[in-house]
Amino acid sequence: MSEHLFDLAIIGGGPAGVSAAINAKILNKSVIWFAADAVSKKVARAELIKNYPALPDITGEGLANALKRHAESMGIEQTNEVITGVYPTKGKFLVLAGAKDFEAKTVILCLGVEAQKPINGEERLLGRGVSYCATCDGFLYRGRKIAIYCTDKRFEGEIEFLCSVAEKAYVMPMYKNYEIKAKNAEIILKQPEAFEGEDRFTAVRFKGGHVEADGVFVLKTAISPATLVHGLKTEDGHIAVNRRMETNIAGLFAAGDCTGRPYQYIKAAGEGNVAAHSAIEYLDKN
């Protein structure tokens, strides 16, 4: 268990996360802010943003940098961790980033929307051969055969670790310029169609074939909200919230694209503000 209990944990580095972090800081709350990217990648990719009021014709990169500078100017730091689970426990939350854990009284989810849908079978077999966390579950597969599905180069350290533990690894890197040196790694450059298995994962299926393994690791930055937080209510794939950005779990709030359309930077920033205010009101009451 971590020693420090934060007032707020904010998960996500986009406009909603920045907005929530700024407000929590102004209102003197202790915050841990998890952002997988130093600058929101999705914002930075936008060519020209015409509807962020007061900043006409700003580039995506310009807005991403301005958001970053705003947070930095207030002394707000990001923690570069990928969150793998959020667990409500006795009036507080346990936030897991691989094998690390953090505790907070409230959590604001600013997860964005997954560009990619979960793989068929991924959610069904999670915890039964499908794992998001190399450091948590890697040793379960010592001397065994695993598959690794990976969407981001930053996880190559985890891939090397998993290969060092397993007897054999089928590695599916879904990004360019991969560098995987482990000798027992077999690279597969196909998009998996499904994770198969009845009670437990048994194989990855591709168009025209499959590989059998004892477990599969899914290493990606964006985990679907319902997978991240067990019991979280969603609607059409978005986190269900009310006007105060409250989810169905007390003390848990959400803001930005993950709460639904329109997917707009200014909508996300506005919701981040509301979520922070609601979280702080919740802290004051409890």
- Considering only residues 30, 59, 70, 283, which one is a binding residue for a second copy as defined by CB under 8 A? 70
Q: Judged by CB under 8 A, how many residues of this single chain contact a second copy? A: 40
Does residue 23 touch a second copy according to CB under 8 A?
Answer: yes
Give dist(CA 179, CA 183) in Å, integer: 12
- Considering only residues 28, 89, 177, 242, which one is a binding residue for a second copy as defined by CB under 8 A? 242
Nearer to a second copy, 177 or 242 (CB): 242
- Cβ-in-10-Å burial (0-12, 13-18, 19+) of 76 comes to middle
* CA distances (Å), origin 120, targets 56, 117, 237: 42, 9, 15
Least CB distance to a second copy at residue 232 (A): 17
Least CB distance to a second copy at residue 223 (A): 24
Does residue 236 touch a second copy according to CB under 8 A?
Answer: no
By CB under 8 A, which span of 15-23, 89-97, 117-125, 185-193 interacts with a second copy?
15-23
Residues from 244 through 263 that contact a second copy (CB under 8 A): 259-262
Does residue 52 touch a second copy according to CB under 8 A?
Answer: yes
Least CB distance to a second copy at residue 88 (A): 23
Least CB distance to a second copy at residue 56 (A): 4
- Considering only residues 18, 172, 185, 232, which one is a binding residue for a second copy as defined by CB under 8 A? 18
- Considering only residues 2, 45, 48, 69, which one is a binding residue for a second copy as defined by CB under 8 A? 69
Q: How many CB atoms lie within 10 A of CB 177?
A: 6
Does residue 28 touch a second copy according to CB under 8 A?
Answer: no
Least CB distance to a second copy at residue 49 (A): 10
Per-residue HEC secondary structure of the chain comes to CCCCEEEEEEECCCHHHHHHHHHHHHCCCCEEEECCCCCCHHHHHCCEECCCCCCCCEEHHHHHHHHHHHHHHCCCCCECCCCCEEEEECCEEEEEECCEEEEEEEEEECCCCCCCCCCECCCCCECCCEECCHHHHHHHHCCCEEEEEECCHHHHHHHHHHHHHCCEEEEEECCCCCCCCCCCEEECCCCCCEEECCCCCCEEEECCEEEECCEEEEECCCCCHHHHCCCCCEECCEECCCCCCECCCCCEEECCHHHCCCCCHHHHHHHHHHHHHHHHHHHHHC
Least CB distance to a second copy at residue 15 (A): 6
Nearer to a second copy, 36 or 245 (CB): 245
Among 80, 74, 76, 67, residue whose Cα is nearest residue 38: 80
Does residue 59 touch a second copy according to CB under 8 A?
Answer: no
Least CB distance to a second copy at residue 269 (A): 5
Does residue 90 touch a second copy according to CB under 8 A?
Answer: no
Does residue 75 touch a second copy according to CB under 8 A?
Answer: no
Does residue 84 touch a second copy according to CB under 8 A?
Answer: no
Nearer to a second copy, 131 or 247 (CB): 247
Q: Residues interacting with a second copy, by CB under 8 A? A: 15, 18-19, 22-23, 26, 50-58, 63, 66-67, 69-70, 73-74, 241-243, 259-262, 264, 266-274, 277
